[in-house]
Structure 1
């Protein structure tokens, strides 16, 4: 069988050197994105879990902005704001958009269409906390993808979650067991 094994827990374990150097258990901020081109809306969603996979919070919503990149930027912004508001000091952020991760890490021109949003993300990152931002494959981000689908089916711009919705349970369970998926 050819392909790449993908799982949330594998992504987290790749950061064990960074985790060990902190001497604490960081939180994994997982984010996902879903685009519905048929109706011009972009659903987004994300969740916060501890290093054991336990649900600590989440969010989903919809953006009417036609740009998928905008929705991906906003999901990162909302997720980081939620972590800061909850006073988490050590966060690993996984986003299934390599383009957004690259733009955040490398910066954008002040003339970029979404320069203000990137500036807001960088202001958050410059605060007194440890945040690592990395790309993950969509297959390893099933929980966030499920929340993004919920976002695409709502009219609310942002819904914050204290407990996981029941639809998320099978995905959280699969992640806790370390279920892997093959990406061809």
Structure 2
């Protein structure tokens, strides 16, 4: 049984080769007097594996990298990955990060998996199995949709960046790498503080 879940609306747009893809989206007026949103990374249930993934794109250079982190129900580190993917854009980087994570899920035979990223648009597309006009984006989406049905139970959710810091750090590490790298059991030292805060349930306040 597959489960797809969406959370927390956010303003975002998809880009293909640097150009915005035209599609309907809501504009949410900023009101700094509203109550802030509490953002906390959550542990998966016992028996589940949680993947947080992220893509990083360096402004005008267009150099992109990806990263992701797998943790168990105790918030213990299982595996992390990072790599540079060359020149692209933020949308492709996010999709590539998720796709690489799913490939690792398949390689390790994990059957109950929670996928979580900070791009609401991409979560909507994957969860809703929607098509997009950009051929390159759709190609990545199609590959993702081929792997997801192989997973026994799969949840995909959106989280704000404040709750996706570990994956973001892995993606930033990817910029420094000349070849793809995978960490098993022991994470890089740059991730330790973030993992500890996530495990303790540290909450961040995000203004609407």
Same fold (TM over 0.5): yes
Aligned in 2, Cα 1:110/1:127: closer, same or farther, shift over 3 Å?
farther
Q: Distance in 1 between matches of 2:85 and 2:65?
A: 6
Q: Distance in 2 between matches of 1:62 and 1:43?
A: 4
Matches within 5 A, 1:157-172: 158-162=180-184, 163-172=186-195
Aligned in 2, Cα 1:142/1:109: closer, same or farther, shift over 3 Å?
closer
Aligned in 2, Cα 1:109/1:56: closer, same or farther, shift over 3 Å?
same
Is the contact made by 1:4 and 1:183 (CA closer than 8 Å) also made in structure 2?
yes
Is the contact made by 2:113 and 2:151 (CA closer than 8 Å) also made in structure 1?
no
1:109 CA drift (Å): 4.8
Partner of 1:33: 55
Does 2:172 align with 1:149? yes
How many correspondences in the alignment? 172
Does 2:156 align with 1:133? yes
What's the TM-score, normalizing by structure 2? 0.76
Larger radius of gyration: 2
* Aligned residue among 27, 40, 53 for 1:7: 40
What are structure 1's unaligned runs of at least 5 residues?
Answer: 14-18
Does 2:79 align with 1:46? no
* Aligned residue among 51, 59, 66 for 2:81: 59
Aligned in 2, Cα 1:109/1:98: closer, same or farther, shift over 3 Å?
closer
When the two chains are superposed, the root-mean-square deviation of aligned CA atoms in Å is: 1.9
Is the contact made by 1:61 and 1:152 (CA closer than 8 Å) also made in structure 2?
yes
Is the contact made by 1:33 and 1:45 (CA closer than 8 Å) also made in structure 2?
yes
Q: Distance in 2 between matches of 1:133 and 1:57?
A: 19
Structure that is richer in helix per residue: 1
Q: Distance in 2 between matches of 1:148 and 1:111?
A: 24
Q: Distance in 2 between matches of 1:103 and 1:183?
A: 24
